[in-house]
Amino acid sequence: MLRTLFTTVFIVFIGATAVSETTLESYLVKNDVSLQWDALRGVGTLWFGIDAVTFRLDSPYYVLNFSDIHRFDAPKVINDEIILTETTVSFLDSFVFDDTTRIASRDFSRVRAIFIDPGHGGQDPGAVAKLSNGSSVYEKDIVLAVGLHLQEMLKSRFPDKEIHISRDSDTYVSLEERADFANAIELGTSESTLFVSIHVNASLNAAAQGFEVWYLPPKVVRKNLVSDTVAFGFEEDTVEILNRIKDEEVSIESVLFARSILSEMDEQIGHISSNRGIREESWYVVRNVKMPAVLVELGFISNTNERSYLIDESYQDILSRALFSGIESYILTVEGTE
């Protein structure tokens, strides 16, 4: 009798707990977590800094960092809102802590080489701006100047690493050649190349200004390997995904690399230009290199004020230094040298 009573009380308690649900949206806002959402497949990836948790609507499986599978209450859609139960929220909450701990517990690949990729060149000028005196300003020239200076700094700071550049003059290099060149760098086990593509933005909106860093959304990497029709959350898909851990690690390293560069840019030019944040896009060169890769947009050539900075040599040096510091701090973090 006593036992039955206990069971009843316990069930009531569980019942009450299950009621305290939260919407995914409010969870994101509260914890500063970002969501990548694939509406077609009903699959979402929550990014807790460099850690990712992937889930599927109505499926009880949550995959941590594309490898460890956890089972909790399935996320449901109620009144157009994705609802998470308290059990799920407490599992997710265990990822809301500072990056230092997470980075320390991870095995990153050693940086063997750095590949600098100044965009455009030769017959491809990239973004162009006409000045009032009739002359033109080309993206290809700004990014080359920044890239060459960056190469110099990296060479003297990291004499033990290979520092490559996709072009060191005003020549045309196709996107395929850039990706092939970077992919051909020989690496040992657990070694990687860092790929940084440098660009300058332009917009029809003359007021647009600021810098941003792009990386490949992890789902794009998966898309190349797992067919679109194969959905997440079933046994066979799980096997597929386990095989892709290495590719996903590259995504995680790219996110960390992007954040490192953005925060140095923010520090060094944030008072002059605006930080437009980290963005995800499937750029050709970023998509086709098998390494941590980012694409940096230094600023808008179409904005009169920002253009006056971008064409200024001393500002270009500051930009190179910001990229240099971002690369340096990423290397020190993953290699644990400091």
Of the residues 119, 147, 218, 233, which one makes contact with Zn ion according to CB under 5 A? 119
DSSP letter at 169 equals S
> Which of these segments, 176-184, 192-200, 218-226, 274-282, binds Zn ion (CB under 5 A)?
192-200
199 is an interface residue for Zn ion by CB under 5 A: yes
Q: Which residue has the tokens 């609507």?
A: 57
Q: In the complex with Zn ion, which residue's Cβ is closer, 53 or 295?
A: 295
Specify the stretch interacting with Zn ion by CB under 5 A; choose among 38-46, 99-107, 182-190, 196-204. 196-204
Shortest approach of Zn ion to residue 202 CB, angstroms? Answer: 8
- Residue 162 token pair: 């290979």
Distance of alpha carbon 156 from the chain centroid: 27
Alpha-carbon distances, residue 60 vs 88, 142, 173, 249 (angstroms): 10, 50, 48, 24
Query: Alpha-carbon distance 95 to 33, whole Å?
Result: 10
H or E element that contains 298: strand 293-300
Report the residue count for the chain.
338
Stretch of 20-28, 115-123, 184-192, 250-258 lying at the interface with Zn ion (CB under 5 A):
115-123
66-105: contacts with Zn ion (CB under 5 A): none
Binding part of the chain for Zn ion, among 49-57, 112-120, 204-212, 225-233 by CB under 5 A, reads 112-120
> In a 3-state reduction of DSSP, which class is residue 190?
coil
Q: Does 140 bind Zn ion (CB under 5 A)?
A: no
In the shown chain, the binding pattern of residues 146 to 185 toward Zn ion, with x for contact by CB under 5 A and - for none, equals: ----------------------------------------
Using Cβ positions, the residue closest to Zn ion within the complex turns out to be 199
Q: Among 120, 115, 114, which residue's Cα sits nearest to residue 173?
A: 120
d(CA 101, CA 97): 8
Interface residue with Zn ion among 42, 44, 75, 126 (CB under 5 A) is: 126
Residues lying near Zn ion in the complex (CB under 5 A) are found at 119, 126, 199
